[in-house]
């Protein structure tokens, strides 16, 4: 296990500590013994709990000046805590130096312990944070303060080298977190669990008791690596399938009335057509009971998506597929009234997970980056040269790749930017090769990769593992030119490589439907899988072995509503893309 990073850098401290320790307002403690029942003290604590820390700090400090003994110690401790909540850290530290901690008890003692722990973490003294929190029971604190307690404990545990305990502490903090703070904390948990090898992760997940808040995180890490779960996911709030008719033996249990939200007009209409046709191919290919299905036009706008969802709900739909656009999904998931569950067909900006009871399925560029990193890590490639295009898809794929690689102990040896007309990078490639890069990640389209392939060969990379994104196949189709791509591996859909139950072969479908040929075939497969997920969602959400062999790949659900796709893999041989055994 790598040594924990020192906590001297302010930026690193803040990353580890998470924004929650700085932005969560102080919510008060539950009933616990206090040192005084004076009305003025109760009023000051009420101000602290009510989001008026500055007013509370002034009152508490004034009361301390007139007090003696244990009462004075407790008042000074509470005043120091309140001043820091108000943003006056200098004043908080000044009062803290006057506190005799041995004379502080009850709720004041817990606030004092939390204050000392947070300051110790901030100052790069995590061992002292662990000491400050030791031996105290945080369960009498409010949820917000309990979360801060667990976050401080997590930093101390990680600094001591115990990533399991650190991840568990962060998982316990979840209940009192929200918004960006929660998303950051979840990323930190994923980072900690990523440091465990497959066997350790599986054993640790199996050891967690039923209902443990860390289990779904561990399960997500297992699902992302394509590993089995020791038991079903913690179901959590929002997942309820009681209104659906009974499930078939294979788990088929579709809704009663299915609403499909797609941009049937507007700029995204071209992308929506193959998704619609793929979904209908799956729908009409099912011989068992099918739900009533209604399509709603979102016009490709956030307002249109919200209006379409509201109309679908008002007309009695009990499940919604869509919307498709990233901005549409972001707007919908930020809505307050989402009583009918949905399967969004994109990942919303800044949303690491959908709201409870909803699911998210996408062909996002990030998925390619994550898949490529996992592919290389599974083959012990940990020092990777990155060739990155300048378009948004390439940049998003590279960022996801870099993060996953680092979380699991790998590193990017160098990153070379590649324009639409690649320049001569031979010297930089030779340098990266000499520095020990053991593999290459190409976030490039086919024509860019073709231009660079001879340069990679000259630098010695032709015999090393080379992995691209699904964009590698874009702009290809002439075998005599594409032979330069021979040996480069890239993620692709399962449908063309292994076939998919309920669909004709990809070649036959392309002959019959314009929306199933060329680049549109990927979205056709995506729409087909969206139908299947809606019909088998309970199977995915409630079974340890819940999985679909879909048209885009093998599909599983993580503990937070994200559909995780294990793609098929292909490579070029003789200038032709061919399936690759996983």
What is the DSSP code string of 55-76? HHHHHHHHHHHT--HHHHHHHH
- Taking the chain, what is the end-to-end CA distance rounded to the nearest angstrom? 28
Question: Phi and psi at residue 321, in whole multiples of 5°?
Answer: -105, 130
How far apart are the C-alpha atoms of 406 and 428, rounded to whole Å?
22
Residue 432 has a CB neighbour count (10 Å cut-off) of 25
pTM listed for this prediction: 0.84
Which of these, 536, 580, 560, 581, lies nearest to 250 by C-alpha position? Answer: 536
How far apart are the C-alpha atoms of 112 and 107, rounded to whole Å?
9
Specify the pLDDT at position 245. Answer: 94
The secondary element (H helix, E strand) that includes residue 384 is strand 383-389
How far apart are the C-alpha atoms of 421 and 18, rounded to whole Å?
41
Report the largest interatomic distance among the alpha carbons of the chain, rounded to a whole angstrom: 90
How far apart are the C-alpha atoms of 80 and 62, rounded to whole Å?
12
Residue 424 has a CB neighbour count (10 Å cut-off) of 10
How far apart are the C-alpha atoms of 291 and 269, rounded to whole Å?
24
- The label of the residue with tokens 């973490």 reads 121
How far apart are the C-alpha atoms of 400 and 190, rounded to whole Å?
13
- Tokens standing for residue 53: 């820390």
Provide the residue-wise pLDDT of the chain in tens; the chain has 582 residues: 444 433 334 443 434 444 444 333 333 333 333 444 589 999 999 999 999 999 999 999 999 999 999 999 999 999 999 999 999 999 999 999 999 999 999 999 999 999 999 999 999 999 999 999 998 888 888 899 999 999 999 999 999 999 999 999 999 999 899 888 998 999 999 999 999 999 999 999 999 999 999 999 999 999 999 999 999 998 766 778 999 999 999 999 999 999 999 999 999 999 999 999 999 999 999 999 999 999 999 999 999 999 999 999 999 999 999 999 999 999 999 987 899 999 999 988 766 689 988 999 999 999 999 999 999 999 999 999 999 999 999 999 999 999 999 999 999 999 999 999 999 999 999 999 999 999 999 999 999 999 999 999 999 999 999 999 999 999 999 999 999 999 999 999 999 888 898 899 999 999 999 999 998 999 999 999 999 999 999 999 999 999 999 999 999 999 899 999 999 999 999 999 999 865
Tell me which DSSP letter residue 557 carries: E
How far apart are the C-alpha atoms of 297 and 285, rounded to whole Å?
24
Specify the pLDDT at position 4. Answer: 41
How far apart are the C-alpha atoms of 22 and 44, rounded to whole Å?
22
Specify the pLDDT at position 29. Answer: 38
- Tokens standing for residue 503: 């669909």
How far apart are the C-alpha atoms of 461 and 442, rounded to whole Å?
12
CA atoms within 13 A on the CB side of 319: 30
Specify the pLDDT at position 369. Answer: 97
DSSP conformation letters of 460-498: T-TTSEEEE-GGGGTT---HHHHGGGBT-EEEE-HHHHH
Which of these, 101, 223, 314, 180, lies nearest to 560 by C-alpha position? Answer: 223
Assign 112 to helix, strand or coil: helix
- Cis check for the bond before 323: say yes or no (omega within 30 of 0): yes
Please state the separation of Cα 391 from the chain's center in Å.
Answer: 23
Specify the pLDDT at position 351. Answer: 62
- Tokens standing for residue 451: 């231009």
Assign 138 to helix, strand or coil: helix
CA atoms within 13 A on the CB side of 434: 7
- Tokens standing for residue 283: 């729908």
CA atoms within 13 A on the CB side of 465: 20
Q: What domains are defined for the chain? A: 257-360+512-565 (3.40.50.2300), 365-493+568-580 (3.40.50.2300)
How far apart are the C-alpha atoms of 531 and 279, rounded to whole Å?
5
């Amino acid at each position: 296990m790598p040594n924990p990073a020192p906590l001297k850098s302010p930026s690193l401290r803040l990353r580890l500590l998470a924004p929650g320790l700085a932005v969560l307002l102080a919510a008060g403690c539950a009933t616990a013994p206090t040192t005084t029942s004076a009305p003025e003290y109760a009023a000051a604590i009420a101000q602290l709990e009510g989001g008026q820390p500055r007013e509370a700090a002034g009152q508490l400090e004034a009361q301390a000046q007139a007090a003696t003994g244990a009462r004075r110690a407790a008042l000074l401790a509470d005043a120091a805590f309140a001043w820091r909540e108000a943003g006056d850290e200098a004043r908080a530290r000044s009062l803290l130096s006057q506190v005799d901690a041995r004379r502080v008890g009850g709720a004041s003692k817990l606030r004092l312990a939390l204050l000392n722990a947070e300051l110790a973490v901030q100052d790069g003294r995590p061992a002292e944070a662990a000491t400050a929190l030791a031996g105290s029971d945080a369960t009498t604190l409010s949820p917000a303060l309990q979360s801060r307690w667990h976050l401080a404990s997590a930093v101390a545990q990680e600094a001591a080298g115990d990533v399991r305990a650190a991840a568990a502490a962060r998982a316990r903090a979840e209940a009192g977190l929200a918004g960006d703070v929660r998303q950051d904390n979840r990323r930190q948990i994923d980072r900690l669990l990523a440091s465990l090898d497959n066997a350790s992760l599986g054993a640790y997940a199996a050891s967690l008791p039923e209902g443990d808040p860390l289990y779904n995180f561990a399960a997500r890490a297992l699902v992302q690596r394509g590993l089995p779960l020791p038991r079903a996911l913690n179901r959590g709030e929002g997942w309820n399938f009681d209104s659906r008719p009974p499930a078939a033996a294979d788990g088929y249990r579709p809704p009663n009335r299915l609403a499909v939200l797609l941009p049937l007009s507007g700029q995204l209409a071209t992308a929506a057509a193959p998704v619609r046709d793929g979904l209908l191919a799956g729908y009409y290919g099912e011989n068992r009971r099918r739900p009533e299905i209604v399509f709603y036009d979102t016009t490709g706008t956030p307002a249109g998506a919200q209006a379409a969802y509201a109309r679908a709900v008002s007309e009695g739909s009990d499940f919604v597929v869509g919307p498709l656009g990233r901005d549409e999904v972001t707007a919908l998931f930020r809505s307050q009234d989402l009583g009918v569950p949905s399967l969004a067909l994109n990942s919303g900006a800044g949303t690491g997970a959908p709201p409870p009871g909803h699911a998210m399925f996408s062909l996002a560029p990030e998925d390619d980056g994550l898949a490529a990193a996992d592919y290389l890590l599974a083959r012990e490639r940990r020092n990777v040269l990155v060739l990155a295009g300048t378009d948004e898809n390439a940049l998003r794929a590279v960022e996801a790749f870099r993060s996953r690689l680092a979380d699991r102990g790998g590193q990017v040896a160098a990153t070379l930017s590649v324009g639409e007309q690649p320049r001569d990078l031979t010297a930089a490639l030779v340098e990266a090769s000499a520095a020990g890069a053991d593999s290459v990640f190409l976030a490039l389209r086919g024509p860019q990769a073709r231009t660079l392939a001879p340069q990679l060969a000259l630098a010695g990379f032709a015999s090393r593992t080379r992995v691209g994104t699904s964009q590698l196949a874009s702009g290809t189709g002439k075998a005599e030119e594409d032979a330069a791509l021979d040996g480069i591996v890239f993620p692709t859909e399962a449908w063309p490589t292994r076939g998919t139950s309920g669909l004709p072969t990809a070649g036959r479908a392309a002959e019959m439907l314009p929306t199933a040929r060329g680049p549109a075939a990927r979205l056709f497969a995506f729409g087909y899988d969206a139908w299947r997920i809606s019909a088998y969602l309970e199977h995915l959400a409630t079974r340890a072995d819940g999985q679909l062999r879909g048209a885009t790949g093998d599909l599983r659900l993580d503990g937070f509503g994200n559909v995780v796709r294990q793609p098929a893999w292909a490579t070029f041989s003789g200038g032709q893309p061919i399936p690759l055994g996983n």
